[in-house]
Structure 1
Amino acid sequence: MCSILLVFSACWIVFSHPTGAFPLDSGLNRTRRDVSCTGGLQYRHGDLCCLYCRAGTYVKSPCTRFGEAGQCEECDSGTYIEHDSDLTKCFPCTQCRSDQELVKQCTHAEDGKCQCKPGRFCHPDEACEVCKRCIRCKKDEEVVRNCTSTTNTECKKIQSKPGAPSDSIVVTVVCVATAVAVCVVFIIALGLYKWRRKRSDSQPDLPDSMKTELYNFPFEVQRDSEARRQSSNTLSLSRQLEEEFPQLVPVKGEESLRACFEYFEDLNVDYYRRFFRSLGISDNVIKGCDHQQYEDRIHELLNKWVEKEGRDASLNSLLRALLDLSQKRTAETIRDQALQAGHYER
């Protein structure tokens, strides 16, 4: 009887599952297909969960056993990956632009960091496509906060001291005094002229040459006085410029000079041809650079000037050329930037 029951059970199993797939095996296969990998630690590769490669490395080949790491390779020089990942390629390191400087080197596990060069800034909440030049406070303003790589210079009006005469009053007094002085000189010259003429007319026997001298005497005195005044003003202006623009000393020779070329990019476009002509650059050479961007033109022509001048090339010569063109404000800006950046010393 037992034998009959065993045979019957076997037949029922075969006919109920003709493919040979038993419920236990089916459950095991479904478990492997539906397995979930641990987020932040593993990634899925086929039916396997592989461990992430650590920061600074990439997946060269995935794992072959469940829960293990595949073959991880260190990023090449100039590339990085900042976090553990399943990436198969590293990112290229950020390259600083010409108006930026590198403040943090790029490593395999961290990107480099750039910031605007001294004298320029870029707000961190804006797309920093180009670093803007820092403003300089006007003569009637004072600096509230110096320019940084992320903030512009802040200025405010200088408040007049109580009881002190305003600039307009001082200018008015000076103008009135000057006008009075001119009138006095004119009256004296006119009086001398009339006196000399009357005296000459009362002496008809004098030669014509002496009469001419008597007529011209007051005007010659006035011309001499004017010439002396102009000469005195020129000397005074020259001394003032020498005080404001003393000879600057480069910290690293020609390297310091070339580092200041970018400061000349703000040169007024209406003066740039006259500026380079004054430096001895021919019109043909200047015209040959017209196809370039304005900033590139400036650098190209300054490089040609350095090649022409050799050891005699200096920032002082460039500043003097700007002063001769009445571009004092530009010269002051370039001088201050060169000193602030540490390329030159007084």
Structure 2
Amino acid sequence: MDKSTTIKVMVPVIIALIHMGHGAAELGFAGDFQNRTARQMSCVENQEYPHNSFCCKNCEAGTYVKEKCSRDQEKGICAPCEKGTYAEHPTGMEQCLQCSQCHRDQIVVAECISTSNTKCECKPGTFCLPDEPCEVCKKCSKCKADEEEVSRCTATSNTKCKKGNSPPTEGPTDKPLASNNTNTIAIVVPILFLLIFILLGIILYKRYQRQLSSPADDLKEVKIPIDKRPRSEEEQENTHNAGLERKEGQRPESRPLLTQETQETVYNEESPQSSPPAPRQPEMVTEPWAGDDGPPRRLVPVLGEEESLSKSFDLFDSLDVRYHNKFFRSIGVSDNAIKVAETQQPMDKVYDLLRVWMQKEGLRANINTLLQALLDLDQRYSAEHIASKAVERGYYKYE
């Protein structure tokens, strides 16, 4: 075999050996990658976090990872959480979580610190169950007239009531005695009113019979005694003319009316020792919210926008139940919120849905928007009633 033939035979063999070497290298690299992946997956949860091909220790609560570790089972550089952020547990995150903000219908129980988030709870008079998402605080219920309060409403529970004749859940009290007294009063008071009404009827009937039987005697009884001083010729003439008018059967309404000064003069002449009657005060005229066809007057809050609006929600209980859903849809409340509120009593439904609308609108929430929505639904009487009551109770005033 010559030299050229040998070279031709050896070249394919050499190429095959080179390919085998590359394959072995690739297999080795893949195995190393799989080992590193398995190593990363073996980091202890809530205590370590993976970085490169090893595990780093978590930073303590109230801090975050500013720079990751360079060796396995070591801790990197940790930095404290900045103001407005927190880390409640040991973490491997590179930044802390943002502190939460309480809703408008909640109060802050505990401020946000580096190791705990802000803690909020519903304002007094409202509640939110702990096992439900607290989007809007609900208004506390009130026990009915035939119920007793077992436990008061708290920020996380509603008022608990029981029937008056049901067995008490706690120690013995004097509640049964109080219930008996209430029943006695409920029976006696109507009887007393009935007796008074009958007595007044008898008195009025006897007085009417007496007037029919002896009208002259009644006239004598209503005469007002005056002083016995001698009267002047002018007074005698006036008395004589008055007698002639009565004989002619002149009606009282045909006589001329006396002015204020004339009444005071006559009173002083007849009773010089008494003081003249006080002039009548003009009646207070309540300003109307709107004319029959004119535009409504705008209401301006007196107690602050949020407080005046919240206190006015109870006035919307007078809305016609048939227009509830139309009204709330017109102001932007979702059908889902309306369906949830329909499981409650009508008064609570109106209040809760208005709170949902107020939370949705934020700073744009205004009573004039609600009144305009009622006008658009041809509920002008309800709108005027709510506006006048809000002004009368001092929540708003006319612009």
2:316 corresponds in structure 1 to 269
User: Rg larger in 1 or in 2?
Assistant: 2
Query: TM-score, length-normalised on structure 1?
Result: 0.52
Instruction: Supply the AA of the counterpart residue of 1:321.
Output: E
Shift of 1:39: 3.8
CA contact (8 A) 2:309 2:366 kept: no
Measure, in 1, the Cα distance between the counterparts of 2:106 and 2:199. Answer: 56
CA contact (8 A) 1:261 1:299 kept: no
Measure, in 2, the Cα distance between the counterparts of 1:65 and 1:162. Answer: 81
Query: TM-score, length-normalised on structure 2?
Result: 0.45
Asked whether 1:135 is paired with 2:206, we answer no
Measure, in 1, the Cα distance between the counterparts of 2:317 and 2:43. Answer: 67
Shift of 1:127: 2.0
CA spacing shift, 1:212–1:193, aligned 2, 3 Å: farther
Superposed CA RMSD in Å reads 4.6
2:89 corresponds in structure 1 to 83
Measure, in 2, the Cα distance between the counterparts of 1:121 and 1:89. Answer: 34
Measure, in 1, the Cα distance between the counterparts of 2:217 and 2:201. Answer: 24
Shift of 1:209: 3.0
Which of 361, 366, 385 pairs up with 1:297?
Answer: 366
CA spacing shift, 1:51–1:322, aligned 2, 3 Å: same
Structure 1: tracts of 5 or more residues without a match: 1-14, 201-205, 216-256, 273-289, 301-317, 324-346
CA spacing shift, 1:29–1:163, aligned 2, 3 Å: closer
CA contact (8 A) 1:264 1:298 kept: no
Identity %: 32
Which of 202, 205, 208 pairs up with 1:187?
Answer: 205
2:118 corresponds in structure 1 to 112
Shift of 1:108: 1.4
1:209 corresponds in structure 2 to 246
Which of 316, 322, 339 pairs up with 2:393?
Answer: 322
Asked whether 1:68 is paired with 2:93, we answer no
Which of 47, 50, 63 pairs up with 1:44?
Answer: 50
2:150 corresponds in structure 1 to 144
Structure 2: tracts of 5 or more residues without a match: 1-16, 165-175, 219-242, 253-302, 320-330, 333-353, 359-364, 370-388, 395-399
Deviations 1:38-64 (A, max 9, x none): 443322112122111222222233222
Deviations 1:191-237 (A, max 9, x none): 2321333769xxxxx86638989x9xxxxxxxxxxxxxxxxxxxxxx
Measure, in 1, the Cα distance between the counterparts of 2:314 and 2:34. Answer: 74
Shift of 1:173: 0.6
Shift of 1:114: 0.6
Measure, in 1, the Cα distance between the counterparts of 2:115 and 2:183. Answer: 64
Measure, in 1, the Cα distance between the counterparts of 2:155 and 2:95. Answer: 33
CA spacing shift, 1:100–1:270, aligned 2, 3 Å: closer
Deviations 1:110-157 (A, max 9, x none): 112111111111111222111112233445544321211111222345
